[in-house]
């Protein structure tokens, strides 16, 4: 896993500067920003490798970030979502196919949690995040 622009320090519980975003990501970021629409500015990038049998547990991205874009590479995976619904969970699953992109904003960022179960074949993910407005 490699973070660029910023990284979240779980020990200190704060956002910290990370290595600058590499130039090789420049043309991809331009396409992600175009996909996001006017005013989209990527401020953080996370590159993740998922070996066979590896996934990521239920979570929401930190509130320091606003919109989250994911570029799925390698194998397809199940992208699971859940939110509280009374005494149970409301759930649904999307398939993140190779070379697909998704965006999470609004309720998908603020209410729903997401996870990826253990993958059956090697997968890579590049996560692009815009920064939340400072309050």
The domain spans of the chain are 2-131
103, with CB counted inside 10 A (0-12, 13-18, 19+), is middle
Calculate mean pLDDT across residues 55-69: 93
Quick one: pLDDT at residue 65? 92
Report the CATH number of the 2-131 domain. Answer: 2.60.120.590
- At 45 the pLDDT is 97
Instruction: Summarize the confidence of residues 67-90 as an average pLDDT.
Output: 94
Nearest Cα residue to 82 out of 100, 95, 94? 94
- Please report the DSSP string for 77-97 in residue order: EEEEEEEEETTEEEEEEEEE-
């Amino acid at each position: 896993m490699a973070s660029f622009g910023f990284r979240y320090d779980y020990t200190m519980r704060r956002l910290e500067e990370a290595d600058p975003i590499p130039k090789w990501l420049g043309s991809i970021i331009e396409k992600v920003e175009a996909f996001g629409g006017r005013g989209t500015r990527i401020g953080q990038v996370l590159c993740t490798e998922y070996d066979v049998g590896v996934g990521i547990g239920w979570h929401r991205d930190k509130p320091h970030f606003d919109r989250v874009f994911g570029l799925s590479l390698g194998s397809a995976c199940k992208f699971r979502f859940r939110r509280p619904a009374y005494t149970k969970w409301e759930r649904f699953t999307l398939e993140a196919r190779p070379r697909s992109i998704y965006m999470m904003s609004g309720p998908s960022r603020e209410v729903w949690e997401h996870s990826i179960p253990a993958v059956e074949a090697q997968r890579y993910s590049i996560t692009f995040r815009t920064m939340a407005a400072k309050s």
